[in-house]
Copies of this chain bind each other. A is one copy, B any other.
Amino acid sequence: MVRQRRVTIDDVASAANVSRQTVSNVLRGTGRVGVETAERVREVVDRLGYVVHPGARSLRSLRTGQIAFPLDELAMDQRDVLGLEFVRELTAAAGTRGYHVLLMTPGMDAIAELIRSARVDGFVFANLRRNDPRIAAVTDRGVPFACMGRTESFQRQAWVDIANGEMVRLAIEHVVQRGHREVTYLGYNLTEYWDAERLTGYEDTMKSLGLVPRSILTDNDEAPMARAAAEAIGGDSPSAIVCASDELAAAVYGAAVDRGLTVGRDLVVTGVGFDVVGRGLSPSLTTVPVPMKTVAELVMRRFMYELEGGPDLPGEFIVPELIVGASTGG
């Protein structure tokens, strides 16, 4: 347990022959330091291995360099490995801006406590419910936040979301370009807004292409999904099935095997999301991956903007890109 004495800003200052104020200015990049001096200071910082003390800094600056994220966002749901990826990417995106992600237990009390103690500079939320009380809580106290997923129209639009309808449209256009005209949609029952948006995206795109929609919705459980997949394949044996998730696409793969059909040849399938399931499929799945790194990056960027306290900006939609696999003919 040998802990050597801390290297302080004063150590750096005297070693570099400047005042400690100058070191501070160099470190925070305020710009009001000569280039040569800055160079020298930075060198000494590296040599001595100096790192600012977050506590001392926060005491003075009222900034902690920390963001709270409620982990309960991530349900115990396979569908939510993407959520896990979001946290990881958020941690990375925060890191490049000198920020750290602090986990918090669920509930409003934890939010209040973190705000009062000033342990964090703000919050990132995901998986918002309608008129989510957490938004009101942080807004009331004037604490910055940013969300993955939309806030209400009367709230601050500090959010980033994926364009659900567009994802489905990309998939449809891809299979239609490949000559398919019977395009079935296999999706989830409308519990969340994105379920509805994906379905609407399907219906609108089909209409605009002059095609006849046929959609099958299911609960997000193994058995119902398998049944729905079989149903989607059955009927008039449609040439293409556009799924609302990679998991549903996997279910179609399974149903295809049962029917002795080969995916990519007898039957064309697409997914959405590119989660663990989708990545493991063979033949490789044509899908529309949610670019989590980009999402996290934009959420973090928006958070930094919120921190500045500028006027409200519109929310931001991310339109993912389709990646072509062998499931639509290679």
Q: Which residues of B contact A36 (CB under 8 A)?
A: none
Query: Are A51 and B102 touching (Cβ within 8 A)?
Result: no
Query: Are A54 and B51 touching (Cβ within 8 A)?
Result: no
Q: CA of A199 to CA of B78 in the docked complex: distance in angstroms?
A: 27
Q: Which residues of B contact A58 (CB under 8 A)?
A: 53-55
Interface centre among A66, A103, A309 (most CB of B within 10 A): A103
A residues neighboring B (CB under 8 Å): 1-3, 6, 49, 51-59, 64, 66, 71-72, 74, 76-78, 81, 84-85, 87-88, 91-92, 95, 100-105, 110, 113, 116-119, 141-142, 221-222, 276, 280, 309
Q: Which residues of B contact A103 (CB under 8 A)?
A: 87, 91, 100-103
Q: CA of A58 to CA of B81 in the docked complex: distance in angstroms?
A: 35
Q: Which residues of B contact A59 (CB under 8 A)?
A: 53, 55-56, 59
Query: Are B118 and A1 touching (Cβ within 8 A)?
Result: no
Interface centre among A49, A53, A113 (most CB of B within 10 A): A53
Query: Are B113 and A51 touching (Cβ within 8 A)?
Result: yes
Q: Which of B53, B91, B141 contacts A104 (CB 8 A)?
A: B91
Q: Which of B54, B76, B104, B280 contacts A55 (CB 8 A)?
A: B54
Q: CA of A101 to CA of B110 in the docked complex: distance in angstroms?
A: 13
A-B contact pairs, 25 of them (CB 8 A): A1-B142, A2-B142, A3-B141, A6-B118, A51-B116, A51-B117, A54-B55, A54-B64, A55-B57, A56-B59, A59-B59, A71-B88, A71-B91, A74-B84, A76-B84, A77-B276, A78-B81, A81-B81, A91-B105, A92-B105, A100-B119, A102-B103, A103-B103, A221-B280, A222-B280
Q: Which of B71, B72, B102 contacts A102 (CB 8 A)?
A: B102
Query: Are B118 and A53 touching (Cβ within 8 A)?
Result: yes
Q: Which residues of B contact A74 (CB under 8 A)?
A: 84, 88
Q: Which residues of B contact A64 (CB under 8 A)?
A: 54-55
Query: Are B76 and A78 touching (Cβ within 8 A)?
Result: no
Besides the known contacts A2-B142, A54-B58, 18 further A-B residue pairs in the complex with CB atoms under 8 A apart: A1-B309, A3-B141, A3-B142, A51-B113, A51-B116, A52-B117, A53-B117, A54-B118, A55-B56, A55-B118, A59-B59, A71-B91, A78-B78, A87-B103, A91-B105, A100-B103, A103-B103, A222-B280
Q: CA of A188 to CA of B116 in the docked complex: distance in angstroms?
A: 49
Q: CA of A280 to CA of B119 in the docked complex: distance in angstroms?
A: 39
Query: Are A101 and B102 touching (Cβ within 8 A)?
Result: yes
Q: Which of B52, B76, B113, B221 contacts A81 (CB 8 A)?
A: B76
Q: CA of A57 to CA of B181 in the docked complex: distance in angstroms?
A: 67
